[in-house]
Chain A
Amino acid sequence: MSAPDLAPAPADLTALTVGDEIHGQFGPITRTQLVRYAGAGGDFNPIHHDEEFAKSAGMPGVFSMGLFHGGVAGGWLAAWLGLEHVTALKLRFTGQVWPGDVLSLHARVDDIEEHADGRLIICSLLVERQNGDVALKGEVRAR
């Protein structure tokens, strides 16, 4: 796995400040990873594993299910903020991800709300392909 990898140092939620960022990276994505995710997640839309079907749909070939790279990003955010603290996750799939792609993950603390029962941390997520195309935009909340 290329550095920076997918193992962020766990955050101390009481010490985070607006503007804090982490970055990760993974790839190149393989068809085997897509098939493995299909089996784990249960997404058997053939457009993600059957080249002939993907071409019949006008695509150059198979491409990643958003929930594969989105799931990787979600796990990475949970490893940073602490799974037990994550209260919401939103993933918006803005572009396709292809076998061979190397993805960069960027998370940033956008806002912190102070509540009587603790702080609510609101972070944005951006996933980019090696050419700068934005494949995913998201948000995660933790408290």
Chain B
Amino acid sequence: MPHEELKGRVLDTVTFPVEAGKIREFARATLATSPIHEDPQSAAERGFAAVPAPPTFAVSVAHHRTVDEASALGLDLRRVLHGEAAWEFFKPVVAGDVLTAHREVADVIQREGGRGGRMTMIIIRTDFTTADGALAIRQSDTIIERAA
């Protein structure tokens, strides 16, 4: 059972390459219709240095992690829901970038659930920086563990 002392805990920091093939795979899996995610010429016409990642692409950092947040936070996957995901975009992420994702627990909120048990909301913040150290994307996820 997660507790409020998890607040501030750093989950992990991982560095990974943003690859054109992964961008294409992600764009197709999310039914993106814009050619800019596959065609460098279309991307260049819109001012991108290479094919850009779709807006929610940063989540694919999951492939590069070795820390599973459910076990790290003591969550039961059968009771876990993704409540909210939010991103702030500071600069475009394009093929060829190398991103470093730093993930920590921003907040933990506990509430009495409808059936007498405790519902826990965990806010996880992930900052994605490019190789020059500039913040490109800040992602916030709200993970909800329903009462047992």
Closest to A40 in B: B29
Q: Does A120 contact B (CB under 8 A)?
A: no
* A75 pairs with B84, CB closer than 8 A: no
* B84 pairs with A92, CB closer than 8 A: yes
Q: Type the 1/0 row for B24-51, where 1 means its CB is closer than 8 Å to any CB of A.
A: 0111111111101000000000111000
With A42-B62, A56-B78, A83-B52 in contact, do A90 and B30 touch (Cβ < 8 Å)?
Answer: no
Q: Interface residues of B: mostly helix, strand, loop or mixed? A: mixed
Q: Does A13 contact B (CB under 8 A)?
A: no
Q: Considering the chains assembled together, what is the distance between the CA atoms of A77 and B32 in angstroms?
A: 10
* A87 pairs with B26, CB closer than 8 A: no
Q: Considering the chains assembled together, what is the distance between the CA atoms of A26 and B102 in angstroms?
A: 34
Q: Does A100 contact B (CB under 8 A)?
A: no
* A75 pairs with B78, CB closer than 8 A: no
With A41-B62, A91-B85, A93-B81 in contact, do A79 and B29 touch (Cβ < 8 Å)?
Answer: no
- A41: chain B residues at CB < 8 Å are 26, 29, 56, 59-60, 62
Indicate which residue in B32, B78, B85, B86 contacts A66 across the interface (CB closer than 8 Å).
Answer: B85
Q: Does B61 contact A (CB under 8 A)?
A: yes
Count of A residues near B, CB < 8 Å? 43
Q: Considering the chains assembled together, what is the distance between the CA atoms of A79 and B34 in angstroms?
A: 6
Q: Considering the chains assembled together, what is the distance between the CA atoms of A88 and B46 in angstroms?
A: 19
* B30 pairs with A66, CB closer than 8 A: no
Chain A residues 29 to 88 lying within 8 A of chain B, measured CB to CB, are: 33, 36-37, 39-43, 45-47, 56-58, 65-68, 70-72, 74-79, 82-84, 86-88
- A71: chain B residues at CB < 8 Å are 26, 29-30, 54-56, 59
Q: Considering the chains assembled together, what is the distance between the CA atoms of A88 and B54 in angstroms?
A: 13
Q: Considering the chains assembled together, what is the distance between the CA atoms of A88 and B25 in angstroms?
A: 23
With A56-B78, A93-B83 in contact, do A83 and B29 touch (Cβ < 8 Å)?
Answer: no
Q: Does A6 contact B (CB under 8 A)?
A: yes
A36-B29, A42-B60, A70-B56 are known contacts; what are 7 more A-B pairs with Cβ within 8 Å? A45-B70, A70-B85, A75-B27, A78-B34, A79-B32, A83-B46, A88-B87
Task: Please give me the 3 A-B residue pairs with the lowest Cβ-Cβ distance, nearest first.
Answer: A42-B62, A40-B29, A57-B78
Can you list 10 residue pairs at the A/B interface with Cβ under 8 Å? A41-B29, A42-B63, A45-B70, A66-B82, A70-B56, A75-B33, A83-B36, A84-B46, A89-B86, A90-B85
Interfacial residues, chain A to chain B (CB-CB below 8 A): 1, 5-7, 26, 33, 36-37, 39-43, 45-47, 56-58, 65-68, 70-72, 74-79, 82-84, 86-93
